C-alpha cells in the first residue's frame, strides 16, 4: 500500500509539472502539440453571450471605437457562430490548453502586454470554417468567455443556453442567397483579392534593395473592377490586419536591412524588428498568417540564403528550424536531399558540414509554394557555387492557407504560355496568372477557364507575388476600407 501511495504522489507531481510547462511563453512551445479536436466536431460551449467589457491592448483610436461601438451579442452553436457581421454556418472546433496571457502576447507579438484578468491557464477554443472565418475564444469559466480581435479583448457573459431560431434562419438565408446568386444569377460579388508583391530597386548608392506593395482587387461584376494599391505588405492574420516589410538602413560606410511586422491597430508603433546585421539584399519571399520567409539574394560563401520566422520570434532574432516545421522526418528529408546533391568526391557521412537546420525557406514554383534549402560547394580553384535544393517535406504545423490549384498547371500554361505563377480562389471561381508583363484575372466555370480575361494589372518582369489571400464577398468592404485607410497610391486602371 505504501508503494502504491508513493506511485500516486509521483504521478501527480509529473502531471502538475506537465501542465505548468504549457504556460511558458509561446516561442518555447510547439502550438501543434497542444491542439485537440473535440469529439464529433461539437462545440464545448453553446449559447447567446452579451458583451460585458472591452480592453484595448493596442492604442485606442476613433476608428476602432466606431467599428465596435455596436458590438453587443454573439452566438455560438454547432450550426452557427456569429460575431458582429462575421459568421459561419459550418464551423469546426479545436481546443488548445495554454496560459491566456502568453497566447495573447504571441498573437499580438508584444511581450509587454499586461492584462492580469487573463493571466490564467485554460482552454482556447479555435473556430474556423476552413475558408473565411476564424476566431479564438478563451473559455474563462462555464458562463464567461473572452475573445481577441483587432488588438481588443472582448469579454462576454452567457445570457441564454441556446441561439434563437430566427438568428440561425437569417444566417442560413444570407448564406443560401450567396450560393443562389452564384449559380442562378451569375452576377454576385466575387471574392476580393489581396496580393503582396516585392520588386527590386537600387538605393542612392546603387545597391540592390527591395520595395513592397499590396494590391486590393475588387471584382464587382464582369465589367467593373477596382484596384487599391498601397506601400508595404498588408496581410489579414487571424486576429486582424498586419503591416510587414523590410527597411533598408543607410549608414556612413555600410547598410543593413530590418524586418518589421506589427498589427495595423498599433499605428506606426513598430515593436517587432529583426536586425539582419550587415547583410544586404534581403528579400521577403513568403508571407503567411504565422510565418515570414526571407532569402539573401547576395550569395556569398559566408551567408545563409534562406530563413523562416514565426511572427512571435522576429523581435528575438530567432529563426525557425526544420524540426519545428516538419519534425524529425523533415530533418531526415533535408539530409537525404543534400546527400543526393553532393559532388561524388564528397563523403556523404560528412553531410552535417553542408546543412543548417535553420537554412530553410519558401518559394513559388509552378503555382505552388515549395520548401527550399541550399548548399555551398567549393571547387578546387576556391570558387564557391550555391546549389538550390527542393525539400519535399510535410509540415506538422499550418503554414499555408491555400496551396493548391483547382486548374492544372498544364492547362494554365496552355492558356497563357508565358505564365510564371498562378493562384485560384478558394471557391474555385477565379484564376490569377502572372506572366512577365502583367497579372491576368480569369473566371473559372465548372473547371473551365474563361476565353477572355476579366482584367489585368501591369507587372514588371522581376515582380514577385509573396502573398495572395482571397476574401469572402461579405468581407470585401472591410478589406477595401482597411487598404484605403493606409493612404493608397493613385488609382490603377485595369486593362481589359
Strand, helix or coil at 475? helix
State residue 353's pLDDT score.
Answer: 72
Kindly state the average pLDDT of the residues 418-428.
92
Neighbours of 143 (CB within 10 A): 12
360: nearest Cα among 383, 382, 392, 385 = 392
CB 243 within 8 A of CB 233: yes
Task: Pick the closest to residue 257 from 242, 273, 235 (CA basis).
Answer: 273
* Whole-number Å distance between alpha carbons of 255 and 275: 11
Quote the cell numbers at residue 123: 482552454
Which residue shows C-alpha cell 498601397? Answer: 230
How is the chain split into domains, by residue range? 2-168, 193-399+470-484
Q: State the pTM of this model.
A: 0.68
Query: Residue 329 — pLDDT band, cuts 50, 70, 90?
Result: very high
Whole-number percent of the chain with pLDDT over 70: 78
Distance CA 198, CA 466 (A): 7
Mean pLDDT of 345-371: 83
Residues 6 or more apart whose CB falls under 8 angstroms from that of 302 comprise none
Q: What is the mean pLDDT of residues 447-464?
A: 91
Give the DSSP H or E segment for 102: helix 100-108
With beta carbons less than 8 A apart as the criterion, state whether 209 and 248 touch.
Answer: yes
Q: CA 351 → CA 15, 308, 381, distances in Å?
A: 40, 22, 22
Model pLDDT, residue 363:
93
8: burial class by Cβ within 10 Å (0-12, 13-18, 19+)? Answer: exposed
Q: Which long-range contacts (CB under 8 A, 24 or more apart) does 20-26 make?
A: 22/97, 22/98, 22/99, 22/121, 23/98, 23/99, 23/102, 23/121, 24/99, 24/102, 25/102, 25/105, 25/106, 25/111, 26/98, 26/102, 26/103, 26/105, 26/106, 26/312
Quick check: 112 and 155 in contact, CB under 8 A? no
- Lowest mean pLDDT, pick from 35-49, 123-137, 154-168, 226-240: 35-49
Predicted confidence band at 361 (pLDDT cuts at 50, 70, 90)?
very high
pLDDT tens for each residue of 273-327:
555 555 667 889 999 988 999 988 665 545 567 999 888 777 777 889 999 999 9
The residues pairing with 87 across neighbouring beta strands, listed in sequence order, are: 82
Residue 359 has pLDDT above 80, yes or no: yes
**Taking 50 as the threshold, does the pLDDT of residue 147 lie above it?**
yes
In tens, the pLDDT along 364-413 reads 999 999 999 988 877 767 677 788 899 999 998 889 878 889 999 999 99
What pLDDT does 484 receive? 86
Collapsing DSSP to helix, strand or coil, 141 comes out as coil
Average pLDDT, the chain: 80
Distances (CA, A) of 401 to 14, 28, 375, 467: 37, 24, 29, 10
C-alpha cell, 98: 495554454
Amino acid at each position: 500500500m505504501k508503494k502504491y501511495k508513493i506511485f500516486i504522489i509521483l504521478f501527480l507531481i509529473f502531471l502538475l509539472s506537465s501542465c505548468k510547462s504549457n504556460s511558458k511563453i509561446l516561442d518555447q512551445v510547439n502550438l501543434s502539440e497542444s491542439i485537440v479536436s473535440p469529439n464529433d466536431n461539437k462545440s464545448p460551449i453553446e449559447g447567446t453571450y452579451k458583451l460585458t467589457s472591452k480592453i484595448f491592448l493596442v492604442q485606442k483610436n476613433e476608428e476602432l471605437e466606431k467599428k465596435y461601438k455596436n458590438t453587443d451579442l454573439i452566438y455560438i452553436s454547432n450550426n452557427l457562430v456569429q460575431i458582429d457581421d462575421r459568421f459561419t454556418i459550418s464551423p469546426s472546433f479545436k481546443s488548445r490548453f495554454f496560459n491566456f496571457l502568453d497566447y495573447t502576447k504571441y498573437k499580438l507579438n508584444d511581450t509587454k502586454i499586461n492584462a492580469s484578468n487573463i493571466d490564467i491557464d485554460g482552454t482556447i477554443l479555435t473556430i474556423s470554417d476552413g475558408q473565411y472565418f476564424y476566431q479564438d475564444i478563451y473559455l474563462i469559466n462555464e458562463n464567461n468567455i473572452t475573445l481577441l480581435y483587432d488588438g481588443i479583448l472582448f469579454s462576454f457573459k452567457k445570457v441564454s443556453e441556446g441561439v434563437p431560431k430566427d438568428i440561425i434562419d437569417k444566417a442560413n438565408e444570407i448564406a443560401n442567397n450567396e450560393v443562389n446568386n452564384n449559380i442562378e444569377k451569375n452576377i454576385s460579388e466575387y471574392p476580393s483579392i489581396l496580393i503582396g508583391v516585392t520588386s527590386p530597386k537600387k538605393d542612392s548608392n546603387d545597391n540592390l534593395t527591395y520595395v513592397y506593395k499590396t494590391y486590393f482587387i475588387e471584382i464587382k461584376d464582369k465589367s467593373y473592377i477596382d484596384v487599391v494599391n498601397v506601400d508595404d505588405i498588408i496581410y489579414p492574420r487571424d486576429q486582424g490586419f498586419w503591416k510587414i516589410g523590410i527597411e533598408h538602413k543607410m549608414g556612413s560606410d555600410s547598410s543593413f536591412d530590418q524586418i518589421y511586422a506589427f498589427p495595423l491597430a498599433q499605428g506606426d508603433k513598430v515593436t517587432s524588428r529583426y536586425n539582419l546585421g550587415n547583410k544586404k539584399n534581403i528579400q521577403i519571399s513568403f508571407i503567411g498568417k504565422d510565418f515570414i520567409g526571407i532569402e539573401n539574394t547576395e550569395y556569398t560563401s559566408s551567408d545563409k540564403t534562406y530563413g523562416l520566422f514565426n511572427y512571435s520570434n522576429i523581435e528575438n532574432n530567432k529563426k525557425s528550424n526544420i524540426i519545428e516545421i516538419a519534425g524529425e522526418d523533415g530533418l531526415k528529408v533535408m539530409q537525404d536531399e543534400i546527400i543526393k546533391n553532393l559532388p561524388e568526391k564528397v563523403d556523404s557521412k560528412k553531410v552535417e558540414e553542408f546543412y543548417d537546420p535553420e537554412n530553410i525557406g519558401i518559394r513559388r514554383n509552378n503555382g505552388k509554394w515549395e520548401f527550399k534549402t541550399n548548399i555551398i560547394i567549393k571547387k578546387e580553384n576556391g570558387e564557391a557555387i550555391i546549389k538550390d535544393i527542393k525539400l519535399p517535406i510535410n509540415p506538422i504545423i499550418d503554414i499555408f492557407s491555400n496551396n493548391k490549384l483547382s486548374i492544372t498547371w498544364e492547362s494554365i500554361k496552355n492558356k497563357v504560355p508565358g505564365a510564371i505563377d498562378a493562384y485560384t480562389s478558394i471557391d474555385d471561381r477565379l484564376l490569377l496568372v502572372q506572366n512577365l508583363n502583367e497579372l491576368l484575372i480569369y473566371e473559372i466555370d465548372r473547371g473551365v477557364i474563361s476565353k477572355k480575361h476579366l482584367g489585368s494589372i501591369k507587372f514588371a518582369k522581376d515582380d514577385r507575388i509573396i502573398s495572395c489571400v482571397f476574401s469572402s464577398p461579405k468581407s470585401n468592404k472591410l478589406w477595401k476600407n482597411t487598404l484605403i485607410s493606409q493612404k493608397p497610391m493613385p488609382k490603377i486602371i485595369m486593362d481589359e
